[in-house]
Amino acid sequence: MQNITNFLSHFFVTGDPMIYGADASIALASIGIVVVLTYFKKWKWLWDEWLTSVDHKRIGIMYIIAALLMLFRGGVDALMMRTQLALPNMHFLNAEHYNQVFTTHGTIMIIFVAMPFIFGLMNIAVPLQIGARDVAFPFLNALSFWLFFFGAMLFNLSFVIGGSPDAGWSSYAPFAGAELNPGVGQNYYLIGVQISGIGSLATGINFLVTILKMRAPGMTLFKMPMFTWSILITSVIVIFAFPAFTVALALMTIDRLFGAHFFTIAAGGSPMLWANLFWFWGHPEVYIVLLPVFGIFSEVIATFAHKTLFGYVVMVWSMIAISFLSFITWLHHFFTMGNTAPVNAFFSISTMLIAIPTGVKIFNWLFTLNRGRIEFTTPMLWALAFIPNFTIGGVTGVMLAMAPADYQYHNSYFLVAHFHSTLIAGTVFGIFCGLHYWWPKMFGYLLNEKLGKWSFWVFMISFNICFMPMYFLGLMGMTRRMYTYPAGLGWGPINFIITIGAFGMGLGFIIMALNIVWSAIHGKKDTTGDPWDGRTLEWSTASPAPEYNFAHIPTVSTRDAFEAMKEEKREGRTKPQLPFKPIHMPNNSGIPFIMGGFMFVAGFGFVFEWFWMGIPGLLGVVACMIARSFVYNDHHHIPADEIERIERAAGRLS
Amino acid sequence: MAESILSLDSKDKKNMPLEYTTEEGDLRIVGFWIFLAAELVLFGTLFASYLVMQSHTAGGPTARDLFKINPVMAETIILLVSSFTCGLGTLELRRHNTKGLIAWLVVTVILGFAFIGLEANEFYSYAVHEGAPISRSAFLSGFFILLGTHGAHVSLGIVWVTSIIIQLAQRGITAVTARKAFMVGLYWHFLDVVWIFIFTAVYLTGLVI
């Protein structure tokens, strides 16, 4: 009995009233979901329509729902930190708890918010933009999603079972090693992120093949929409960066579980190797979450300036240049770790070089706006706010890139302000922009403009209240990851202002959530499929797009293909209605979900070093792969009369 | 005739090998090449880590103390021959000879087993008899994980080839089974290439330097 009590008190995180509150809310939410699904008899619907779906649009929606939930959690983490730092000598969180909270905040925001949100938007938009009926590998796409989902669930379990990781999102050795960081928290980080990372790699391969091989006839590479271009380049970065991270995480896991010495100080290990491997992935990762939003902003700015994008070819080459440079700048994350001057100089210059293609893009967006008929919709507001706010983040990045000066800024709040300026004003503004822009395509109705603008203004102003003072706080000497500070350093008032800004951003997010709920009931229906007077092919089909996307695959002759089609129509050149043909579509499959479940079981086993659980879990994964290999009947046809019925119901037949 | 999910321009597929004749096969083979590119980065990272760690023996056994040329040569020859027999299988695939293809794949699997057996024996003797387990030094950590990752790939390859042998026996050579047999061949040759680098960067340099 004593043993059992002892085990349970270590297994479950105990002793903190906030954790008990979280336990209770998790239990209540889970029971609530089960009760609602059972009461409304929705289990079969959930399984058939969503959990087994291989439709890129549904997978995209599931990615976005999961990412929004994770954004909520990451945001609560941020508010907990800001509460703790609001005043000097606060005791809201203790040092250990604070470490856990900044670790989960960083990891969740990058791996479980920014990436899945972008994957969600690209799942929804890319196949539609290139005139395809799905991605190249729909089954693999579902698998990617479920690996991400179960990886995220495993990671999030840590704070109620076993304890959270506390070594920062960058998880530096030797602190993250077994000797200095015993317990399961760090294992959760390593294995949860690993599982979702495998899914990310598969997504990269999937979208690269999709874009290279499945474009509508006539759509040459340089006629693709800019968002599709950004995803093509991002996919290449994913493919070359993620395997390095896979290895880094695996090596640290082996260090911790099997006593190897890759990153230890004893027995010849090299903690610096971790920093190199981590940032060899970590820096390209920054561009994995930035280039796609550059694509989104390009689409949105062109659409609402009602002009074609300025400098299209230069835009593409700038992104290619950025993607190349992103692989040779990783060392700027640790200029201060004792590299030689020539090494620091090389990485200093390579980092500054990135400002050139990025600056080119900024000017191209400005020139797109020049003499445009600008329409201030919610997505456009996010895009317009991105330009100045992101530029501030970029310029301070160049300041940090100067290695000698970095010795002053390094790991200060100046750095914290810099990367939040790029990741919030870039990535977060971008995903919100894309969410509002493609929402009608996902659900067939628009988000409310008034609430949308309120959430924009509240969030954007609060963002500046939160992060502008942080630059000065950093120059005044406050370093990142301090859990408290004494009075009398002059940091108190600035920290208080920052905390006000942080809560303001939370309020902006709540207004956005309200907007989603309100619009689900009262939102304006999008009956045309083209609510924004769009320029690219996703707006040429119904909203929401039918399962097969396009009844007829469009033929493309120019950039802004849909704009050209509308032009033709205005000139009275209409094409004759072709007869419908049956469409070949992939079958749903439960294997991705089950395989993700086995991965979760295996991951949980390895977190606790319970090999009796981990190894059968992995065998289950292999069994799923074999089972899938023997499935031959994996496609079906949608008959022509069914297509005609669907098209007629959507009002697309005259 | 059904319109396909894929919107490829219709090329003349008649002169293509069987595995490329469907659009799906074509896509998957391209995807698999890209996957192999990612695998290259994965092994590249492991090689880099190993080479950094090579001299970090922490007073424990060095490469020269441990490595013996005979078992390593045996492993190398067996794996290279298995790649050759796998290639002969692809040749039979092109000739639409199901039995020949299956026979060569079976030989490949047997050689794969022999390789894994020898490697497991080598690992066992290092870890148990020579006092050189993974936890002894950073050099040994790098060694076991680089070779172990390759060995795990070969083991998974054995499972994969076996499943394709069964499918070939059930269905004969079709566009789908042809694509699968072709892809597993790419995978097997890739592992062979990785081994050549292991042979050079780990064993030869370990024995000489």
- For residue B8, the model assigns a pLDDT of 44
- For residue A6, the model assigns a pLDDT of 80
- For residue B14, the model assigns a pLDDT of 62
Burial A47-83 (b: 16+ CB within 10 A, else e): eeebbbbbbbbbbbbbbbebbbebbbbbbebbbbbbe
Length of chain A: 654
Determine how many CB atoms are found less than 10 A away from the CB of residue B121: 12
Is the pLDDT higher at B76 or at A37?
Answer: B76
- Say if the Cβ atoms of A277 and B164 lie within 8 Å: no
Maximum mean pLDDT: which of A89-98, A521-530, B110-119: B110-119
- For residue A58, the model assigns a pLDDT of 95
Q: What integer is the mean pLDDT of A161-180?
A: 92
Residues 6+ apart with CB under 8 A from A521: none
**Which chain A residues are within 8 Å of B27, Cβ to Cβ?**
136-137, 209, 213-214
Q: What integer is the mean pLDDT of A442-465?
A: 96
pTM for the full predicted model: 0.94
Is the pLDDT higher at A652 or at B177?
Answer: B177
HEC string of A342-381? HHHHHHHHHHHHHHHHHHHHHHHHHHHHCCCCCCCCHHHH
Torsion sign over Cα A185, A186, A192, A195: negative
Amino acid at A24: A
Mean pLDDT split into 10-residue runs, chain B, 209 residues: 43 73 90 96 96 91 90 95 96 94 97 96 93 92 96 96 95 93 96 96 88
Encoding tokens for residue A338?
């004792």
Name residue, tokens 């046809």.
A637
Name residue, tokens 């019925």.
A645
- Say if the Cβ atoms of A586 and B56 lie within 8 Å: no
- Each residue of A229-244: pLDDT tens digit? 999 999 999 999 999 9
Helix-, strand-, coil-residue percentages of chain A, each rounded to 5: 70, 0, 25
Mean pLDDT across chain A: 93
Annotate A558-625 with DSSP letters as a single string.
SSSHHHHHHHHHHTT-PPPPPPP--EEEEPP-SHHHHHHHHHHHHHHHHHTT-HHHHHHHHHHHHHHH
- Say if the Cβ atoms of B141 and A254 lie within 8 Å: yes
Q: What integer is the mean pLDDT of A30-54?
A: 89
Encoding tokens for residue A227?
């968002």
The size of the A-B interface in CB pairs under 8 A is: 149
- Say if the Cβ atoms of A629 and B156 lie within 8 Å: no
How far is the C-alpha of A548 from the C-alpha of B7, rounded, in Å? Answer: 12
Beta pairing partners, A636? A585
- Say if the Cβ atoms of A267 and B135 lie within 8 Å: yes
Amino acid at A385: A
Give the least confident one: A20-29, A210-219, A235-244, A296-305: A20-29
- For residue B12, the model assigns a pLDDT of 56
Domains of chain B as residue ranges with CATH = 2-208 (1.20.120.80)
**Which chain A residues are within 8 Å of B136, Cβ to Cβ?**
267
How far is the C-alpha of A166 from the C-alpha of A113, rounded, in Å? Answer: 19
List C-alpha distances in Å: A153 to A159, A188, A195, A446: 11, 10, 10, 31
- Say if the Cβ atoms of A213 and B141 lie within 8 Å: no
Rounded CA Rg of chain B: 20
How far is the C-alpha of A595 from the C-alpha of A140, rounded, in Å? Answer: 11
Q: What integer is the mean pLDDT of A316-333?
A: 95
**Which chain B residues are within 8 Å of A250, Cβ to Cβ?**
145
- For residue B9, the model assigns a pLDDT of 44
Q: State how far residue B43 is from chain A, nearest Cα, in angstroms.
A: 9
- Each residue of A353-406: pLDDT tens digit? 999 999 999 999 999 999 999 999 999 999 999 999 999 999 999 999 999 999
- For residue B13, the model assigns a pLDDT of 59
- For residue A347, the model assigns a pLDDT of 95
Indicate the residue of A208, A243, A622 with minimum beta-carbon distance to B159: A622
Residue A421: pLDDT band (50, 70, 90) is very high
**Which chain A residues are within 8 Å of B60, Cβ to Cβ?**
267
* CA atoms within a 13 Å half-sphere pointing along the CA-CB vector of A612: 0
* Interface predicted TM-score of the whole assembly (ipTM), two decimals: 0.93
How far is the C-alpha of A260 from the C-alpha of A245, rounded, in Å? Answer: 18
Q: Please tell me if residue B152 touches chain A, with a CB cutoff of 8 Å.
A: no
Amino acid at A156: N
Backbone angles phi, psi at B10, to 5 degrees: -80, 105
Q: What integer is the mean pLDDT of A518-537?
A: 93
- Say if the Cβ atoms of B45 and A136 lie within 8 Å: no
If 0-12 CB within 10 Å is exposed, 13-18 middle and 19+ buried, where does residue A478 land? buried
Q: State how far residue A271 is from chain B, nearest Cα, in angstroms.
A: 11
